Structure 1
Amino acid sequence: MNRQFNRPLVVTGFVVAAVALLSGCSRPQFVSEPNKVAEPDVVWSQEPNGPLDNDPYVQWLRGYFESYQLAVNTQDFSIAQLREHRTEEQVLNLYESFDETHSPSHLFGGPWIFEPLSVEPDGEGGAVIEVCRPAHGTYEVSRKTGEITSEPNLDDTRIDGYVIVADGPGEMHVSKIYGASPSFEGREKCTLDNAAVGVYDPLPEVRSWDDVVAPVGYEDDSRR
């Protein structure tokens, strides 16, 4: 009787484990308040000192990029920085994409590299920002070794536009991203003369895929 009872338990455990592995999903931690995660120091080889880098919309856009990098590097999608630059739905989509596909497959070794080309406020609290950036926007760090495996090519560039929409006092999100805007028609390339380039110090820690924190309130979200 004992042998007949134990064998199904072994098989059942194997099936459950196999399903968990095939699904690609981690076992998230749930929190009721945003975790406080310190932003890493940056060793700059070229600091952000271009003519538009002090513009508040440009600074907000820099925070938009870096909040995503911080969430991926720490595997914590509850952080306040992420929600300060995105809608609740956008944060949820980022988390579910990361949790289900394990993408991106690398960590970020430095801030997203870009040079602002123009800032056009829309008169309603938002703006359209066009930037020049490398096709691959920053340093990539291996999830196996924790070392930089890819560096951005500052000669391989593209122009992107970011439509920033105001949601309320002090609240904004990117509603649209586009490339090669009409004002730069025919210019597939651009020149990075004043782009800020730096590396995080220290580089991000390599973590287990299971070590991930879901957005605040995700455990009770009926959309799951």
Structure 2
Amino acid sequence: MRLRISYPITADAPGWPGNEVYEVERVRSVAKGDVNNSGLFRMHEHYGTHMDAPKHFNDRGPCIAELPFDYFFYQAPLLLDIPKGSFENIEPADLKPHEEHIAAADFLMIRTGFGRFRNTEPKKYQMESPAISAAGCEYLVRTFGGTLKTVCLDVQSLGNASDTSGDGVEAHRWMLGSYTDAFICVIEDANLQDVPACGLRAAGSVPLMTTGTDSGPVTAWVEFD
């Protein structure tokens, strides 16, 4: 079976504060006498379920369209349930007990449970989401950077939108290869609520192959027995 874990792109998604939201402009309409239906859409590249590619924080790193196409397909997905509440961080101590399993994975989904607030309390989801600390990201990259391709989160961002300490910036820099030769891409704002804890076989996260952008929205899914 396949389960889509990317949210539909809608105008009311709780994106990063200040970023442009999704807008659609109808250019032609059959109902109005045109020969077809067509239109334009506009959105921030970090809106909805999207992948942060290395170029987002690392100017030496590849943008999303420069990653090999095989990069977006995963043969060893892993789901970790690490419950976290408002403003809490995922630290190395949360990850180290799972080290053996992460070492065998190429796609790591971390389910904090905070995704349950996305539709019911979008402001809470936007401003209070848990995060992975810079120390947690350093641990992931230094330990698994050669094999783990992508980390997928059920929170608004790798770093909390309300953070003023700079830890979220450092978290992104560590994960996206600013300090090492290795990098791990990040999928933010994913829907992991119904992902099964076992029986995962494969996963994918295909982006729009847009040039001139560092990152972009993805259609992501998991396959399971």
TM-score (norm 1): 0.27
When the two structures are superposed, what TM-score results if normalisation uses the length of structure 2?
A: 0.27
Q: Which has the larger radius of gyration?
A: 1
